[in-house]
Structure 1
Amino acid sequence: MALWDRIKDSATSMQTQLNAKKNDLKSGAFRDASMAMCALVAAADGSIDASERQRVAALIMTNDVLQNFPAEDLQTRFNDYCQKLTADFDFGKVAILQTIGKVAKKPTEARAVIQIGIVIGGADGDFDADERAVVREACFAVGIAPTEFDL
């Protein structure tokens, strides 16, 4: 199976798992950690260009699990996290990983945040090394072994 197909299959599988847990994923901590993860993946290479930001924002708005939250609220939070990363990537990343880490005590939410990172990263068919690296860091922030997600 081609790498492209494996990435697409993995992202589809993750989204299916997320949809099955949709009703368990309604907390503010999950919302914040999910938007932090989306911003982190969007900025994985150290910068966020306008097209990548729009692509990730579109994916957020169409993600079934994230429909639990008002779209404007998600957009505001995503933009705020992107701004932190744009202003100072390294410092912003530390703050964002702390936000992601707040779901560590809720395994369902922690896994869902990691899955959202994988879905967002793999949505374009190229879950590149930078994206994999930031999702791996997020795994450590929530206390999940990256190997659980083949990272």
Structure 2
Amino acid sequence: MSFENFLSQLKSKAGELKTEALKFKNKDFLQAAMAGSALIAMADGSISSEEKQKMIKFIESNDSLSIFSTSDVIKAFQEHVGQLEFDKDIGEAKAYQALGRMKSNAEAARLLMRMIIAIAASDGIIDVNERKVAVKVAVELGLSPAEFELL
């Protein structure tokens, strides 16, 4: 093996390790994002294709989350939706628990709120139930709902 091949393989392995480290570091953020997405998407009783598309676009454009494959994102989203459908109270408790892990990171919390609001507005209107959920999410994240014009 030539030195160039060795160096190339070394760089490749380093890149893979960095990606895996970033995935590990951002796993809680992914879970919080999908928990919030599931809560807001189900707030009005059904999940529209616009809401799903907005969520995927948001994830793909976010540096912290773009390292995850679309299938990982969908899997995490479906897990939260499944928990909410199976038992609303337990599903909500788990979703808010995942969101609560972001409370100490104000930048991540604000980003999550912007994503949740964008998903809620993806069908052209934020209805009363979506607004209620968005307020609860903001409080769980330690943010003022007024900051996001929810009150």
Matched to 1:127, the amino acid is I
**Which stretches of structure 1, 4 residues or longer, exceed 6 Å deviation after superposition?**
none
Extract unaligned runs of 5+ from structure 1.
1-25
In structure 1, how many angstroms separate the alpha carbons of the residues matched to 2:108 and 2:67? 14
Query: In the alignment, is residue 59 of structure 1 matched against residue 59 of structure 2?
Result: no
Extract unaligned runs of 5+ from structure 2.
1-24
Deviation at 1:56, TM superposition (A): 2.6
Of structures 1 and 2, the larger Rg is shown by 2
Deviations 1:23-79 (A, max 9, x none): xxx72221111111110011113x435xx2x43322222221243421111000000
Give secondary structure in 2 for the equivalent of 1:143: coil
Deviation at 1:140, TM superposition (A): 1.0
In structure 2, how many angstroms separate the alpha carbons of the residues matched to 1:48 and 1:143? 27
Q: Which has the higher contact order (CA 8 A, sep 6+)?
A: 1
Q: How does 1:90-101 map onto structure 2 within 5 Å?
A: 90-101=89-100
Deviations 1:108-147 (A, max 9, x none): 0011111110000001111111111111101111111111
Question: TM-score, normalized by length of structure 2?
Answer: 0.75
Question: TM-score, normalized by length of structure 1?
Answer: 0.75
Q: How many pairs were matched up?
A: 122
In structure 1, how many angstroms separate the alpha carbons of the residues matched to 2:67 and 2:128? 30
Contact map agreement 1:61 1:67 (CA 8 A) in 2: no
Q: How does 1:48-127 map onto structure 2 within 5 Å?
A: 48=46, 52=48, 54-63=49-58, 64-65=61-62, 66-127=65-126
Give secondary structure in 1 for the equivalent of 2:143: coil
Aligned-residue RMSD, C-alpha: 1.5
